[in-house]
Amino acid sequence: MPDRVYPPVIAAAKALFRVLDLRIAVEGAHHVPITGGAVLASNHVSYLDFVFAGYGAQPSRRLVRFMAKDEVFTNRVSGPLMRGMHHIPVDRSAGQESYRKALDALRAGEVVGIFPEATISRSFTVKDVKSGAVRLAAEAGVPLLPTAVWGTQRLWTKGRPKKLTQRHVPVTIIVGDPIEPTTDADLRTRMQELLDQAQAHYPDPGAGQWWQPAHLGGTAPTPEEAAALDARPRKPEPDAR
């Protein structure tokens, strides 16, 4: 499929990274295959995770087609970009159609990006994962790439103001070893291991910070507290204005 939108968007994002002097560290990018399909399954701590998880595939010169909720595609600003980059809309009332489109993309040799937790983790740990990533990799016969992103929550996450112009923020992206399609529990364990690794080597210790998980001394909600917050009626996200 022709990609007239994706390359300039990537170029603009890289230029912004340089302006903000984001300290981006990518590990394991060589695990992304140069050709052929693959499922990239990433943890989810920020609204910007698709940008940075996709950045991890850049050394292999791959464009990741992310599955994202349908509302992003109907937004008047993000919609044209998402469609132009051939990402895959997920309509939760018609999930089988989204699954079929992702499967077709994998069989056509695309890398499909999925956030198996489905929603952002307020606790900054890996939540229970949905079955889509494992099922897609198994049915398409492609490798499953567990991935972790860390630091992106400091720019924009659920329940916090946007800080998109914040400078010098370290961001870590780790693409793990490809694994054969396995169980959802195994995928979650591997994603958490990669996230633990990213957190352990993160250059800013973040002691007592809101963006650090509770088990590492931060003030983020515990997984149980986060689950309770997610169960509340939805409210508009705060803005930086």
Q: In sequence order, what are the beta bridge partners of 24?
A: 171
Which residue type sits at 148? Answer: A
Residue 16 domain flag:
yes
Q: What angle do CA 203, 209, 215 make, to 5 degrees?
A: 85
Confirm whether pTM is higher than 0.85: yes
Radius of gyration of the chain (CA): 17
Question: In angstroms, rounded to a whole number, what is the distance separating the alpha carbons of residues 116 and 229?
Answer: 19
Least confident of 3-12, 87-96, 122-131, 200-209: 87-96
Residue 237 domain flag:
no
Residue 239 domain flag:
no
Residue 92 domain flag:
yes
Question: In angstroms, rounded to a whole number, what is the distance separating the alpha carbons of residues 50 and 71?
Answer: 15
Residue 113 domain flag:
yes
**CATH number of the structural domain spanning residue 141:** 3.40.1130
Instruction: With residue 137 as reference, give the H or E element that holds it.
Output: helix 132-140
Q: In sequence order, what are the beta bridge partners of 112?
A: 39, 65
Range of the domain at 191: 5-231
Residue 210 domain flag:
yes
Is residue 92 predicted with pLDDT exceeding 80?
Answer: no
Residue 95 domain flag:
yes
For the chain, the domain total comes to: 1
For 179-235, write each residue's pLDDT tens digit.
Answer: 988 899 999 999 999 999 999 999 999 889 999 999 999 999 999 999 999 998 876
Residue 186 domain flag:
yes
The answer to whether 92 touches 85, Cβ cutoff 8 Å, is no
